[in-house]
Amino acid sequence: MSSEALKYIKNQIAEHYDNFALVAIDADGNLIWDYNNWMVALMLLERARAGIEEDSESLEITVELDDDDDGGWEQEAPVPNPNK
């Protein structure tokens, strides 16, 4: 995210909210953040973390693993030719 994009987003948020914390991750995996009040930002991020943890407790994640050593591919066994 360019600094121009971050500045634009900050300006848009600041028009509607007295306090904010902005967190994003760019395509390269760099964490980008900004806020207008560090004490409020800490509170907002803590409340967001708690809310995400609470929401994730209700998720059901199921993983089915294939026990075969063929990498998940089904292979047919060769059928013997009775004429040989």
Domain ranges for the chain, please list them.
3-48
44 has a pLDDT exceeding 90: yes
Q: 73 is written with which tokens?
A: 């591919």
Q: Is 12 or 74 the better-scoring residue by pLDDT?
A: 12
Question: pLDDT tier at 18 (50, 70, 90 boundaries)?
Answer: very high
Burial of 35 (C-beta count, 10 Å sphere; 0-12/13-18/19+): middle
CA-closest candidate to residue 10, choices 21, 61, 2:
21
40 has a pLDDT exceeding 90: yes
Supply the pTM of this predicted model. Answer: 0.56
16 alpha-carbon distance from chain centroid? 26
What does the pLDDT look like over 22-32, one tens digit per residue? 988 888 888 88
